[in-house]
């Protein structure tokens, strides 16, 4: 059993390293959009404010207001970010069908939504509406 556990941990570490290298490329592949969107869905489903904060590119817009940094984002609190409607909309997004627009990749057909795009070669959330 310990052997399988060690193999599983090694495999996860290798996959993580491969993912890190892929994010450093100048033009991320569409599958990176999917992976990043899945990370957003996971943070929203878990209502993990710290994980979502780590996915943001600062400054970003939240409900029409500019949030300058991670600390300010965290200070907004879970009730502001994890509304029932927003969580349901993000959970329902088909991440395999996401397309990039001029504004970035928009998760959600209307408001509420989450917008992300490549910023300095890395994906980051730039808007939460």
Q: Note the pLDDT tens digit of each residue in 2-11.
A: 333 333 333 3
**Residue 58 near residue 67 (C-beta atoms within 8 A):** yes
CATH 3.10.450 assigned to domain 26-128? The reply is yes
Question: What are the structural domain ranges in the chain?
Answer: 26-128
Task: State whether residue 7 is helix, strand or coil.
Answer: helix
C-alpha closest to that of 96 among 17, 29, 33, 24: 33
* pLDDT attached to residue 23: 38
**Which positions of the chain have pLDDT values less than 50?**
1-31
Residue 23 CB-density burial (10 A; 0-12 exposed, 13-18 middle, 19+ buried): middle
């Amino acid at each position: 059993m310990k052997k399988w556990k060690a193999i599983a941990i090694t495999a996860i570490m290798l996959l993580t390293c491969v993912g890190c290298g892929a994010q450093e490329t100048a033009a991320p592949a569409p599958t990176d959009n999917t992976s990043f969107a899945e990370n957003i869905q996971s943070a929203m489903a878990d209502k993990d404010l710290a994980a979502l904060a780590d996915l943001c590119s600062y400054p970003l817009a939240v409900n029409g207001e500019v949030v300058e940094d991670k600390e300010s984002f965290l200070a907004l609190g879970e009730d502001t970010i994890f509304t029932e409607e927003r969580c349901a909309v993000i959970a329902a997004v088909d991440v395999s069908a996401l397309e990039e627009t001029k504004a970035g990749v928009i998760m959600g057909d209307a408001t509420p939504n989450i917008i992300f795009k490549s910023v300095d070669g890395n994906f980051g959330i730039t808007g939460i509406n």
